[in-house]
Amino acid sequence: MQRQARLAEQRQRAAARQQVAAVRRAEQAQRAAERAQVAAARSAQADRKRLEREARAAHVEAMQARVESLNAELAEHYAELDGLLEATLDVDDYVDLEALRVTAQHPPFPRSDLRTPVPAPAPIPEPPLPVRREVAPPKGPFGRKKKLAAAEAEVDRRYAADYQAWQAAMDSLPARQAAQAAEHAELERVRLQALAKATAQYEAESAERERAAREQNDELDQLIAGLGYGTVEAVQEYVGIVLANSVYPEHFPVGHESEFEPATAELTLRVTMPGPETVPTIKAYKYTKSTDEIGETQLSQKAAKDRYAGIVHAVALRSLHEVFEADRRGLIRSISLELGTETISPATGRETYVPERVKSIETCSGRLSLASFG
């Protein structure tokens, strides 16, 4: 699947580069035309005619670049459709089922933050023991003794108040420390509870991923064993895997259904593809200078019919090729192919399925022969 996707991506990139270059040239020409028109509008009368001619020339160049871009896009579209068969020839369509084994992929634990304990708070320090201040000698020649006594009384009063506050702080310190420890313990309890819940959920999801991987691998073992015995279910499932790897353009989806008959080793394969109305019938885009319009030239009815018939043949051959190439065990000896197109009925206006029959048989030499192509 990856190889086919890479091949398809390489082809798409090459075509996309051409289209991007054409679009870029068209945009550059358009911008030049707009600049010329603006300059013409702003110019003096003497330069107006010259600038108008330049603006017209730039506009023509922009329109021609637009046509080039449209034709490049159309060519890319046709190249994808015309190369449907070629796209698969360089790809080995065999699917190694052992490569489909899976291993459960577990994302990182989403709450790793909960594995870190809540940091312990800094201990509440003991308040410093108050210190009695020294009394400064009173100033002045009179009443020194009285002033000194009053000052010492004030210092004693303040010291007593400070000591009382210190004692109250010391008395409340054990309770404050206990409350701090309790708060930290509560935070730790909440963290551990959340961690346990997140861990249980992560382990349950991991167990489910492991179970899903084991179940898928068990189904793969059953498919491999069934394919070894050539059971109907295993052959049909393997064919489904092979054809699911077939990469078609997004604008041209193709679907497959199959049934295997072990008695005759014949695979009945039903392929659905878009109807002819989904394929463009435009031959090319062309710019007409006299009318300043971009027109379309159409393919002839025969050319359009032949192109779609080629697409139908390519899808049929591609489907047969992919199944036979992938069947290395040789379990499938023939394929009865019904290729149907989903189209709009002109009578009813509703979507309808139009089947065609193709019979493909693998010869002893390993080549394919086609018969009764409808």
Long-range pairs, 20-27, Cβ under 8 A, ≥24: 22/65, 22/68, 22/69, 22/71, 22/72, 22/73, 23/69, 25/65, 25/68, 25/69, 26/62, 26/65, 26/66, 26/68, 26/69
Task: Identify the CA nearest to 260 among candidates 316, 324, 335.
Answer: 335
Check residue 14 and give its pLDDT. Answer: 62
Q: How far is residue 109's CA from residue 154's CA, in Å, rounded to a whole number?
A: 66
Q: What is the pLDDT of residue 51?
A: 77
Contacts of 209 (CB under 8 A, 6+ apart): 104, 105, 106
d(CA 342, CA 193): 60
Domain positions in the chain = 1-82, 112-215, 245-374
Strand stretches in the chain, DSSP E: 255-261, 266-274, 282-288, 293-298, 334-344, 351-362, 368-371
Task: Check residue 366 and give its pLDDT.
Answer: 38
Q: Which structure tokens are listed for 100? A: 């489909």
Tell me the C-alpha distance between 217 and 235, whole Å.
18
Q: What is the pTM of this model?
A: 0.65
In this structure, are residues 79 and 72 in contact, taking their beta carbons and an 8 Å threshold? no
pLDDT by residue for the chain (374 residues), tens only, comes to: 455 555 556 666 666 676 777 777 778 877 877 777 777 666 555 577 777 788 888 999 999 999 999 999 999 999 999 999 999 988 899 999 999 999 999 999 999 999 999 999 999 999 999 988 887 777 767 677 888 788 888 888 998 999 999 999 999 999 999 999 999 999 999 999 999 999 999 999 999 999 999 999 999 999 999 999 999 999 999 999 999 999 999 999 999 999 999 999 999 999 999 988 889 999 999 999 889 999 999 999 999 999 999 999 999 999 999 999 999 999 999 999 998 887 677 777 777 767 765 544 443 333 344 443 43
Residue 68: is it exposed, middle or buried by C-beta count within 10 angstroms (0-12/13-18/19+)? buried
Per DSSP bridges, beta strands 266-274 and 282-288 are unpaired
Do residues 318 and 337 touch, judged by C-beta distance below 8 A?
no
Contact 374, 357 (CB under 8 A): yes
User: What is the distance between the alpha carbons of residues 319 and 93, in angstroms, rounded to a whole number?
Assistant: 11
Q: What angle do CA 253, 255, 257 make, to 5 degrees?
A: 180
Pair 271, 256: CB distance under 8 Å: yes
pLDDT of residue 3: 53
Q: In what order do the strands lie in the sheet with 255-261?
A: 255-261, 266-274, 334-344, 351-362, 368-371
How much is the pLDDT for 8? 56
Q: Angle CA(11)–CA(15)–CA(20) in degrees, nearest 5?
A: 140
Q: Find the helix or strand (DSSP H, E) in which 161 lies.
A: helix 144-229
Is 104 exposed, middle or buried, given 0-12, 13-18 or 19+ CB atoms closer than 10 A? Answer: middle
What tokens were used for 301? 């009815």
